[in-house]
Amino acid sequence: MLLSTYGTRGDVEPLVALAVRLRELGAEVRICTPPDEDFAPRPAEFGIPRVPVGSPVRELMRETAPLSAAELSRYRTKLVSAQFEALPVAAAGCDVLVAAGLAQVAARSVAEAAGISYVYVAYSAVNLPSPHHAPPPRPGWPEPESDDNRTRWEMDARRVHAEFAETLNQHRAALGLPPVDDVRGHVYSGRPWLAADPVLGPWRETAGLDVVQTGAWTLPDERPLPAELVAFLDAGAAPVYVGFGSMRPSPDIGHRAVEAIRAQGHRVLVSRGWADLDLVDGREDLFAIGEVNQQRLFPRVAAVVHHGGAGTTLVAARAGVPQVVIPLPVADNPYWADRIADLGVGVALHGGAPASAALYAAIETALAPETRARAKALAARVGTDGAMLAARRLLGSRQ
């Protein structure tokens, strides 16, 4: 089987989990990811062949200013062409192609040309069209003015088609395939899979779309925490974690969060992330870390302040800790922020850089006994076997 995605760590890790479970069931698997070296260790750890495709994602995320609509369009067109060049070779000998994320525009055509099965996967319900929610924000595209979800999804489909149709159909013609008249529908297929926990991010029945929700795809992480981090954790009360993963938030957000946490008498643990947050000021109540095992770390923190990535949200929920989500207006970040607020296990702070008073109030709410109790109760309901369920279903579908 070939598993393919393009994005940050949160896009890659679920496919690694699925690949490991497929291997345990006797399947041969290879995985396509961006070429960033950040993504190489995990597939290599499990002996999974990895095929780099496209440009490094970290370079894109390091841009100090957002790319213009024209620059993003050129980037996307280049990625589609790179996929049509790499995926046919990577798919040789495979009988199933699993593609995760809308960026996988070429995948279904490659599967079609090779005569193999195709499965499209989303990691969040908000990424699939439904009248129950609006489309997620897409970089470089203005937000639709309509408040009607159906209208917004129709506009989204037109924009996706306008962005990709010419490039996609040119490559399909070269493969002897007919053109498509709805790129988004073509990529999603009529039966997409949803690799999200049904308690944390449920799918609501929607006419015309037969969604298979498997649960989130994760693996147990047994890596120990660094000795210096353990020493900091052991030296006092549980700190509040602050980290924004691969996102680049406003420079003020991190400083304001630290101030709000300290003002309430709590220690702070800062994850530098891809934004390279530099908040160390020499005081003993703050400790900075790089990439560490969140599964081991989060049960030892008092709360998690983060950007709303699907992976961070899930790990914090499983750890039973409250969350303060400060989402950037992109992809599924706002969706996960709202889910945490709706479940009563934390606070969502929309609208860019929150004021200090809003951050103080959010952290105070997150650390309240009733919020902590709800977070602990939620942890007992979140599943852990989504990747194995998906692997068994994939293998069963090809028999």
Q: Map tokens 């297929």 to a residue.
A: 189
Chain length of the chain: 399
Q: What is the pLDDT of residue 180?
A: 97
Q: What is the pLDDT of residue 381?
A: 97
Q: What is the maximal distance between C-alpha atoms in the chain? A: 66
Are the C-beta atoms of 53 and 6 separated by less than 8 Å?
yes
**Which regions of 83-139 does DSSP assign to beta strands (E)?**
96-100, 117-122
Q: What is the pLDDT of residue 369?
A: 98
Q: What dihedral do alpha carbons 114, 3, 155, 170 form, nearest 10°?
A: -30
Smallest CA-to-CA distance from 18 within 35, 31, 37 is with 31
Q: Map tokens 């496209």 to a residue.
A: 54
List the Cα angle 182/336/216 in 5-degree steps.
75
**Burial (Cβ within 10 Å: 0-12, 13-18, ≥19) of residue 184:** buried
How is residue 257 written in tokens? 């969060």
- Cβ neighbors of 71 (< 8 A, separation 6 or more) are none
Print pLDDT tens along the chain (399 aa).
999 999 888 899 999 999 999 999 999 999 999 998 878 888 998 999 999 998 888 777 655 566 777 888 888 899 999 999 999 999 999 999 999 988 999 999 999 999 999 999 999 999 999 999 999 988 777 887 888 999 999 999 999 999 999 999 999 999 999 999 999 999 999 999 999 999 999 999 998 899 999 999 999 999 999 999 999 999 999 999 999 876 667 768 888 899 999 999 999 999 987 666 766 777 899 999 998 999 999 999 999 999 999 999 999 999 999 999 999 888 899 999 999 999 999 999 998 778 889 999 999 999 999 999 999 999 999 999 999 999 999 998 655
Q: What is the pLDDT of residue 398?
A: 59
| Cβ neighbours, 10 Å, residue 167 | 20
Give me the domains of the chain, ranges plus CATH numbers.
2-219+384-397 (3.40.50.2000), 227-379 (3.40.50.2000)
Euclidean distance between CA atoms 223 and 20, whole angstroms: 17
Q: What is the pLDDT of residue 273?
A: 74
Beginning with the edge strand found earlier in the chain, give each strand of the sheet holding 303-306 in spatial order: 286-289, 268-271, 240-242, 303-306, 323-325, 346-348
- Cβ neighbors of 126 (< 8 A, separation 6 or more) are 133, 134, 135, 136, 332, 335
